Amino acid sequence: MKRMGLSGNYAAAYAVKMADVDVIAAYPITPQTTIVEKLSEFVANGELDAEYINVESEHSALSACVGASLTGARVFTATSSQGLAYMHEVLFMASALRTPIVMANVNRALSAPLNIWNDHSDAMAERDSGWIQLWASSAQEVFDTTVEAFKIAEDVQLPVMVNLDGYIVSHTYEPVNIPDEEEVRKYIPSKPMKNRLSPSLAYSIGVVGPPEYYFEMKYQAIDAMERSRVRIREIESDFNKRFGRSYDDIYTYFMDDVEYVLLTMGSMTGTARVVAESLRSRGEKVGVVAIRTFRPFPSERLAGILGDVGGIGIMDRATTPGGSSSPLYEDVASCLYSVQKRPILQGFVAGLGGRDVSIGEFEMMFMATKEAAKSGRSKPSIYVGLRG
């Protein structure tokens, strides 16, 4: 084990190197680029024996990954924002063809106006593409989650997207514990999977699925996502045992004797924690819940954790124009609908296009959540920090 100062992006690159991937296909886009720059360097230096495909677009990046993955190779790509949007149609094919690709998505706002800074609109727009979505909130978590992602993807035969917030996580240097390569290899052995394009099998893959069959064919990938819930937790617990760090599909903080919860995803969790600490010292019974596995969404467990609280403030870093609320809010609300004593929910949309979400704003969100819980009535989504 060694301790290195790494940015979130470099932490992802180191994890990919340790996973001994066979193929990387990627296209540069800010703020993801330093991941694939680092990987190119590893390949150029001979530190990683992989084919690096300098594709001409993100559409081709993911297409090449699908082809490569079908041969049984271990495959990685990385993107952000417009790049992920450009991959859109291929994302669905990657999941339905059951290709265990791992992709780092460095979360960035979608144009227009052009904006290279962080929000979650890119990942939320691909919510229904059949990819497992994991969310990391520090460089260490990026490293660990990327290693886990290969294990999860190959185990359940679904692609995995590891999300990290642009700049806030991707470009912030933090101390990261890097395990010995041998340990990582034991956890994710680099032996190839079945080559589904082998002449000895002569499969036809990506066929026409007429109405008599499409439903069942599609359902297999849906079912795999459902079944991945249990496997992800088992894989995480195995990781925790081996590497001594503790991950779960739901992150909780200060959840004993709790009345109000701040619910987040990604790097905002850190701010929420600081605010919760300060509020606790002032006697407020507040806790933090962060979703680490957005797909599959941990509905049942979340309902168990949140079923008793008075009020929940849900921080979305994306929105659904014209929808009943925002993506994270909707999932939380859905899973709480059937609990006996439903908590009051207050939705917030914050930090679009990289706007900083301050401690003061978090305190305001807490106050608004508390007020909603007390009065029993919440307001429509509050756009935090939006100038009139």
Partner 1 sequence: MSTAFRNIKDVPKEEYLAPGHRLCAGCTAATAIRQILKVAGRDTVVVSATGCVEVATSYFPQSAWKVPWVHVAFENTAAVASGIESAMKALYRKKKTTERVNIIALGGDGGTFDIGLQALSGALERSHDFIYICYDNEAYMNTGVQRSSATPYCAATTTCPPGKMSSGKRTEKKDLVAIAVAHNIPYAATATPSYPFDLMNKVKRALDVEGPALVHVLTPCPTGWRFDTDSGIDIGKLAVLTGLWPLYEVVDGVTKLTVQVPKREPVKKYLEIQGRFKHLKEADVAEVQKRADMLAAKFGLGPVREQVQA
Q: CA 27, CA 255: separation in Å to the nearest integer?
A: 42
Q: What is the DSSP string of 360-372?
A: HHHHHHHHHHHHH
| CA–CA gap between residue 6 and residue 11 (Å, rounded) | 6
Positive/negative CA dihedral, 265, 271, 273, 276:
negative
Write out the E strands in 95-189.
Answer: 102-107, 132-136, 160-165, 173-178
- Contacts with partner 1 by CB under 8 A lie at 22-23, 25, 49-51, 53-57, 59-61, 63-73, 75, 89-90, 93, 97, 191-192, 195-199, 201-210, 213, 217
Residue in 285, 278, 340, 330 with CA at minimum distance from that of residue 307: 340
φ and ψ at 341, to 5 degrees? -115, 95
CB of 22 to partner 1, least distance (A): 4
Find the shortest distance in angstroms from Cβ 93 to partner 1: 5
Nearest to 279 by CA among 253, 305, 314: 253
Please provide the size of the chain in residues: 388
Question: For residue 133, what are its two tokens?
Answer: 């979505």
Q: Which two tokens stand for residue 102?
A: 């791992």
Query: Alpha-carbon distance 346 to 307, whole Å?
Result: 15
Minimum Å distance from CB 214 to partner 1?
A: 9
Distance in Å, CB of 374 to partner 1, minimum: 53
In the complex, minimum distance from the CB of residue 258 to partner 1, in angstroms, rounded to a whole number: 48
Contact 309, 260 (CB under 8 A): yes
Cβ distance to partner 1 smaller for residue 77 or 138: 77
Integer CA distances (angstroms), 287 to 42, 253, 306, 366, 378, in order: 42, 6, 11, 10, 19
C-alpha–C-alpha distance, residues 328 and 127, integer Å: 10
